Amino acid sequence: MWVLDDGDKQLMLTCKFEGIGLTRPPEVGTVEIETDDQSLPRADGIVMGEDFYGAQTVSFDLSLRPEQGKPVADLLGELRHFWRAPSHRNVGGKTVELRSPSGRSTFGRPRRFSPNRDNEKHDHITVDADFESVSDLWFGASGSALVSLVPPLGRGLVAPLVEPLTIQGAAQNAQGFTVGGEEPAYPVIVFRGPITNPSLHGDGWVVRVRGTLAYDETLTVDTRPWVRSLSLNGRPVAGMLMPSSSRLRDVTLSPGFHSVQLRGTDITGTASALILWREAHAAF
C-alpha cells in the first residue's frame, strides 16, 4: 500500500476495484543529474566535475468507482482536493510524505492531476497523477541519540569559591550510536537549555551556536536539504550559528558508528542535545 500523508489526512492507495485504487504499481521516474563536466581546450575528452542528483517523479494511474453508495464524481472531488495540497502549497518548504509499501518514505508535493471522465456515465473515472519529490533518496527507520553535558573530570573544588559555580567543557564520555542505510542521513539537532554557546562536535563537522538558551528554550537545527533552517521554540530564527560552524549541507551522518560531544557552559549540568535522523536509502 502507498500512503500520502499531509500531516492532517492520509490517502491510502492500493489495487482495488471500488473507491480510489491503483490500476498498476506507481512508476518512479528517472533521476536527472546535473554535472559540472568541462571540455578540454584543444584536446580530446572532458574533465569530470561535481555531480548533483535532482528529484524524482512518482506517477500514479488511478481508477475511481463508486464505493459504499458514494458517487464517483464525489470521489473525484475528494481526490482532487487532497492533490491540491491546500495546507501546503502556500507555505514555502512544507512537504507531504509519500510512504511506499516497504515503509520507506520520500517527501514532496502532489503536482500533475489529469482526470479522464469519458466513462463517467458507466461510473468509472481514471486519473493520471504525479508526485514530485524533493530528493532521489528514500528514508526508512528513525533513530535518535541524547547527548548530555557532563562536567570534565577533576580533583574537586578549590577555595575560594565564587558564585555562580558553572560547569563548562565537553562531555568526557562521548555519546556513541550507529546509523543504518546506504546513504548519509540528515540529522535534526535539538539543543535544550540552560546552556551558553553550545556546540555539538561530530565526525568531521561541528555545529556552534552563539548565545544563551534558557532552561525552557530549545533551538532546533534542521539539516535536511529541503528545510535547512534554525528555529527557537518552534519559530524561525537567524544569526545564531557562529562563522566557525560547519555548513548545514556538510552536517550528515554516514552509515556506521558515530561519536559526538556536546560542549558549552551550563550552571546546572542539565543541558542536552537530541539528535534525530531517518536512515537514507537509494531505493524504495
State the pLDDT at residue 174: 67
Q: Which helix (H) or strand (E) holds 76?
A: helix 72-83
One digit per residue, the tens of pLDDT, for the chain of length 284 reads 999 999 889 999 999 888 999 999 999 999 989 999 999 999 999 999 999 999 999 999 999 999 888 899 999 999 999 999 888 888 888 999 999 999 999 999 999 999 999 999 999 999 999 999 999 999 999 999 999 986 555 545 555 656 655 555 444 446 899 999 999 999 999 999 999 999 999 999 999 999 999 999 999 999 999 999 999 999 999 999 999 999 999 999 999 999 999 999 988 889 999 999 999 999 99
State the pLDDT at residue 89: 85
This prediction has a pTM of: 0.86
State the pLDDT at residue 104: 97
Q: Assign residue 276 a region: left if phi > 0, alpha if psi is -120 to 50, beta otherwise?
A: beta
Closest CA to 198 of 129, 115, 265, 275: 265
Return the sign of the alpha-carbon dihedral for residues 86, 92, 96, 98: positive
Q: Which domains does the chain have, with CATH numbers?
A: 2-136 (2.40.30.200), 140-281 (2.60.120.860)
State the pLDDT at residue 5: 95
Q: Using the structure block, give the residue that is written with the C-alpha cell 556536546.
A: 262
State the pLDDT at residue 173: 47
State the pLDDT at residue 163: 62
Q: Which three cell numbers, joined as nine digits, stand for 77?
A: 472531488
Q: Which residues contact 81 (CB under 8 A, 6 or more apart)?
A: none
State the pLDDT at residue 168: 53
State the pLDDT at residue 157: 54
Q: Using the structure block, give the residue that is written with the C-alpha cell 550528515.
A: 252
State the pLDDT at residue 151: 55
